[in-house]
Structure 1
């Protein structure tokens, strides 16, 4: 029997749902002769399970990123961004980095209580906590689950600094927490803007906010006194990299004061998923895009080495970096290196606690 070719689904980013790399068998849909190959695939519903994690703060020692600890309220992300480097992590759950990643989500409802416990550990030393480093803390499910908001309430009570990266205007819901924290030097937000082309955004990031809405979010954050930046990421050669200056200019006009960028990363299963998306949505440019990607990665689709995975190497990577530096200087933008206040950190007293002598 012939395998059924995968087709793009409305409102979803990945074209297929390949078996995760840890699974002992590979699953393939086949034509059974009863017309199943001709039928439209059924709508893919989003489900949310519970992630029963016992620790909420994740630490890292990567020299490529400006933080050493982070919190991810959710596993998987309904925004469905086809290029998301976090997709391969769904294989750890026995699920596919493809459609499963954006439709089978896991929330951490105990995150706030776990965070309270970890911040009260006498050995804890305060440094800014980053959110939005893996999956978006303000993806659609957050409207009902409010895990991110509960985490912010704990951080505010502890006077603990936080940085957030998001594509969602939902972050504005929490301005009542973020604005007072920002006034105390405890909060900053970067909005990810990948493209200003609404049609391209709809195909690449099907359930994320439109480019216009993200710029409006930057403006609203800035007007509320929250330090706002833009993250132009990922820059994809021959697809959206030509927009870098336009994205930075539009973000500055909206009130952004910092900016950063990252070159497309294609680890593990993401290589196949992204190439499928290119073939489906921009077939005329697919080969050209991947040719330049490989030129920026030493002939491979991805190079994970420190110092190279975020920027790439070669002529195209160097040109992109130069364009970024020139635009930053011309627009008066700073790098995303917020200096938040760690000196205010204090665990709030609980009922029955012994009073401090300090």
Structure 2
């Protein structure tokens, strides 16, 4: 479903044209297609219009009095508020040199007169669609950065888990690529990897950093963190793909895990995948109650647990990634950490 705020922004197009007849024609075409049109007769008037409101797209002639389209474009690109607005040059000067000059400046498109209504609307629609896609990518990047900051702040409560989130996501992405998962699915997995232990915010520091074995009561407290994590993100729509990972990454293939005691294919695939890489990272990292285990030993332990703790097919994917060196490369980014055993 399209975000209504994006529809509203899409309706605003600033048309800069000094020919009154052409201005009327452009305005009529765009308004008939549902766009709200802001008009200006030259570059200077266009800048004044930009002061009042920021449009979704600028459609500008090049040859105009007072301030031409080239100068307008250069000025707009220097304005932080307007620098990202898609900019289309519309002009009667259609030589290859003119087109190259317009595009070399960084304009999004360059179309020549005369132009049909279909050509105009297609150009405007394509540039707005691309602008919206870039906006969503930027928002998603910002979301991930914020979530990483939160997850790392939680992990920082236990010094033994420094960089755990980044490594687990690195391992998880390697397995997902091996399994042929598409970008959308890998993206959801990334959210799950970032947030898988977010529920530990409710676990007391005394339990997280305890050097000896946990009591039954302390284990019960620790095992609450998947459900706590699920509740924290359950009502955030864009995090929906992460919910099964957060809730079920401690389930076991043989049904002896928690919190629901699921077994086999009852466990969501993403959670089955993350279970392996989370365990691998935990074992190869110093913990308050034991030193790190060598990666090669941990790898053999993972293989031995296929069909009991782990999904055999996921273990096979892990083994392929290990054979290619994918796992070792992720570890290499943390090899200087005093908390993790080097791969060599």
Instruction: Give the TM interval when normalised to the shorter protein.
Output: under 0.3
From the two aligned structures, give the one with the greater helix fraction: 2
Q: Work out which structure has the larger RCO, using CA pairs closer than 8 Å and 6 or more positions apart in sequence.
A: 1
Determine which structure has more spread, i.e. the larger CA radius of gyration.
2
TM-score, with length taken from structure 2: 0.25
From the two aligned structures, give the one with the greater strand fraction: 1
